[in-house]
Amino acid sequence: MTDLKLKIIDKLENGDYISGSTLSEELGCTRSYISKAIGELNDMGFEIESSKGSGYRMIHAEDVLDKNKIIENLHTKKIARQLELFDSIDSTNNYAKELASKGVAGDGFVVISDCQTGGKGRLGRTFVSPRLSGLYYSFVLKGKLNIETCSLITAAAAVAVADTIDEICNVETKIKWVNDIYLNGKKICGILTEGQVGIENKQLDYAVCGIGINILEPREKFSENLENIATNIEKETGKRFERNLIAAKLSDNLEYQLDNLDKKLFLEKYRSKSNLIGRDVIIHYNNSDRDAHVLGIDENAELIVEFSNGETLHLNSGEARIIKNGLLV
Ligand code: BTN
């Protein structure tokens, strides 16, 4: 969102009419700039009425991602202290990786976008990321990171997301191993961690963890297939929550969990919030599907499963699909 658009929204927020000339005087730009920016805001989903005699009036304001509001609510030392916001981007993970590899994005760098045109999910899937509805958030981690740490980062991030949503939205989320956050039996968030391995030291040069949370009802409904498995917080609670506050709280919670990664503070909650432990599932692993029963989650956040032949395995990747009343969920 450009500065000019944010300022226009600020001025119109109380719903009163303001004339084009007052706006252009107070914001120090021409009336045609104002009119162009208002047209663009309307295209984005705001409803700003224009009347010949009275000027402009906001009828319907959207929850705008605003860097200052996020920073005002941050309590971190590192996470999101270097912060970039976009209206639209292909993928926040791609952008964070690019900047991390060039050395521009330091430890704790965060990029957030209002929408993504090429949002990426795990296992090569796309992550549908419509505008004015979700939080598409990636952070960079640098420092001593070995490859095993990557799965711990994902698990710690899952706990940080779950805590954030529970605290702000007064709900009780569940975590579906490895990295999905569920509300009322449907997915509201996915996490994708990527990294670059240094050839010499076999350590990660950096890790990028991308978090996509479905917060508000999108203007265009998800496809029927997606609607069956995914939802958003507004739909489940009937309430609209401010994405800026969620972004700030998420950063606070991420910092807490990451600062305590060595102590594995996240593990207890990661286990207690699991919606897989004790259930029959289908495990997709090494390109095949197998029936299994979930026994627990080990010290490395790996899923402990028992197959029908009695064999047990600790999984550090793959996917588990829940079997409920004979159906896959
Ligand atoms: C999954 O559910 O499979 C993981 C989804 C991860 C989506 C987030 S949105 C922010 C970041 N940018 C991306 O392209 N993907 C992640």
Ligand 1 centroid–CA 192 distance in Å is 5
Q: Which atom of ligand 1 is nearest to the CA of 190?
A: 2
Answer whether 105 contacts ligand 1 (Cβ < 6 A): no
- Say if ligand 1 is within 6 A of residue 257 CB: no
Q: Which two tokens stand for residue 306?
A: 């028992």
Residue 257: its pLDDT value, please?
Answer: 97
Q: Which of 298, 299, 280 is nearest to 290 (CA)?
A: 280
Q: What is the pLDDT of residues 189-246, one digit of tens each?
A: 999 999 888 767 778 889 999 999 999 988 777 888 888 889 999 999 999 999 999 9
Note the pLDDT of residue 295.
97
22 CA distance to ligand 1 centroid (A)? 42
Tell me, in angstroms, the distance from the centre of ligand 1 to residue 286's CA. 22
Residue 311's DSSP bridge partners are none
Query: Is-cis flag, bond preceding 208, omega within 30?
Result: no
- At residue 241, the pLDDT reads 94
Beta strands 312-315 and 145-146, pairing class:
unpaired
Within 10 angstroms of residue 240's Cβ, the number of other Cβ atoms is 13
Ligand 1 binding pocket includes 116 (Cβ within 6 Å)? yes
- Is pTM beyond 0.85 here? yes
Residue 105: name the closest of 150, 138, 71 by CA. 138
DSSP H/E element including 41: helix 31-44
Q: In this structure, which amino acid lies at residue 25?
A: E
First to last CA, the chain: 38
Q: Quote the CA–CA distance of 304 and 218 in Å, as a whole number.
A: 37
Q: What is the mean pLDDT of each run of 10 residues along the chain (329 residues)?
A: 85 88 93 92 86 87 86 97 96 98 96 96 92 95 81 94 98 95 96 84 87 91 84 95 96 97 95 95 88 95 94 91 64
Confidence at residue 219, expressed as pLDDT on a 0 to 100 scale: 75
